[in-house]
Structure 1
């Protein structure tokens, strides 16, 4: 249906359908490790790329499309255990604050997120703190050179696709940064206007504890 709307130049309707499909794909990937059908992702990415080259201004529906595409890439990196790449992606997407000066902006942005983004927002928070606890663990070893998989973010993203080396030099420096960022996220979670389920709170606290106690 999205392709038919696209061919009929009904961009808004096509975009809305892609947003729903991408939201469902993200939920499936998070809950069951089920990858989205290739034609859905490729069609959505092609559609987004054409939009970015023909439109100078983007409305809420279009912005949702780009954000969902980037969220999918983030979750896919995490699920495929490309933790360093995932860490870099989430730092770039402006979905969560990693400095105290970013908290107000992120809280304000939540008011403008679509239902499709808000539906997966608690999972994004949990995945991010889980990711940070993995990077902070003593057992974690850098895997920057272990995979040649190349996943593209949406056309409007500024994410640098080069291989990450964030863990290859100073582990203590990264650990200090992860602890600082965990404090920021902990404060942000306390200010969230959306309700998190109790089991999510429990898991978040476990991740926070692992990060803060890492050495």
Structure 2
């Protein structure tokens, strides 16, 4: 048995991490995908392969790399600790970073595909008529690629919500601090508390179902 607050805490933290990270991922994916969609340059394939690496690497490997990059012995980790006053590892910020890294490839690939399907002549015609790049994106590119934008955001959110391996490596499993639903399920199963694990698992299934339902019902 567990108290209500202990049950809600991983759900609240998972939702918080997923929302913050999916917003960051969406902004980054839109900016990078828009820049990459119609450009041709040497090394583009290698750069896109680098973007997609977290999608195929084991989460533990991604988490280990982040741990080395952001740990207390790294320059980035030391700079963050000096500026904020506490280390980045084993904090909720670390959970957000892990979620951003693993969710970015899905969102980027989906959004970039949508941008590539937009007729470039429409954008060029708008610019020829005096529209700025922002106006072209707002009134032409984004509306025509809206399904890909929505799908990219939802996929990024779902991936961030279910992240486990990288989060466990860099953020740990500290109750009420860094324990998300996936890590809480792992601990519950390891401790033989299957009823609690089922409750958290059902919550994950329900949230994922609602997100996919919203994506499928989004009008063409």
Fold-level similarity (TM above 0.5): no
Q: TM-score, normalised by structure 1?
A: 0.29
Larger Rg: 2
User: Between Structure 1 and Structure 2, which shows a larger proportion of helix residues?
Assistant: 2
Higher relative contact order (CA 8 A, sep 6+): 2
Q: TM-score, normalised by structure 2?
A: 0.29
